[in-house]
Structure 1
């Protein structure tokens, strides 16, 4: 969706696109703001131009340097494309080292939240915090996604109505309004390369829910013992990544902070960009 809107001059949408060689990939990235670094991993079928600039600018306003990037082979990055969270976490590790970031926060939305959890499990010494948005924990699920999520998430050309159903709450008038406004802001991003191929992405997702959604016992074991502060931002009407899966684990994960937005879906940070950014900033001020 490429709709126009007004945005803060000099903000996220005007950040230059940079490239860096990381192994067999040439990764495209942007850096916005200054302060504690937060590297964000993209959602399913997302690129760095799928983040709401209002959320990114709100993070930067709190003293956070936001790093956005495209996974290898997707968006403006080159190389082999893959959606395995373990492989993508290796891209995160390589990018952090290439940028000389050794105490950064890692975050991710949807698929990107799985990538961030693998990062916590495999290279915690490089990280300060983890920020998870609308994602699923590893292991058995208390509640599976709706089949509707799979039907909508794999459509070749999702329109505003589809994305409202995927990321917001179509039965809520305020959420529908937030979806439209967020889409307008997202439309301010400049050219962002080709979209993630729908057929390829659908093959990675599958045609329906599976149990577990994120089979990674070693990640669950790490989350049960880590002292790394972890925040999960979720919505109470998420059809793809039900918040109930985090509730089921909340007593088992000692450093997990759960925040649930009412009448929100998979993109609470797009429905409430300033409030979400303040919660992220608060957790990033918390030390181990």
Structure 2
């Protein structure tokens, strides 16, 4: 009897091939969406954790703009000032505070001109923070000799992918209309924004652009053994005393991870809704197939 039912089922599938394939497709899409959701969520979380580990676990980030959305505030033009960075350095427990300035610029090398991200910070702070991180390290060469030396460090992609000709130590490049000598090349970070950056001292940047008090972030390295959360609160309190500074955000590595985790959670929720719709469509397709099969068999037996 079971064998006969099995043969009857196969015959019905062959008789209604299009309906059977569409039903199976609905099921496959639903399952694939769920698997994609799980893989995407875990992949994003792993990528975020990896990026934060590259900077280091003893860092605090000060960004312009509202606490709820500092990234958008930075995009819209909010900025920190030199005196804000100086105020952060005065907080007990701060080993160093590195202001970072960024802007798009043009770089000329090998007869080509390409857009690059110009990344500037004080030289001494750059050495302390970058050398203490896992990701921002030199693959070859050295750091610039001084704040005013015409020396530059290239991101990995700028050196080896951005131009037809690979850049080497000692090569001369033109950035923002001024000639620099390549003295270092960063190792591959894995984050395109930084891999496609060139790194110069803050004084050179300001000499090139004439821009001051336009700090996009301050990276704070804490002294060993301190609580990052407590130090972040001290920094927040100190900046609240700054005249003219109304909107800023202070993040530890853990808080940044939680913030990004919340964003990923919202994304996972949206993908779950899409997957649920796909499963619902597949389920309706199965119900429709079963209903039509029953109706056909009812007509066959004359009930």
TM-score by length of 1: 0.24
From the two aligned structures, give the one with the greater helix fraction. Answer: 2
From the two aligned structures, give the one with the greater strand fraction. Answer: 2
Q: Which has the higher contact order (CA 8 A, sep 6+)?
A: 2
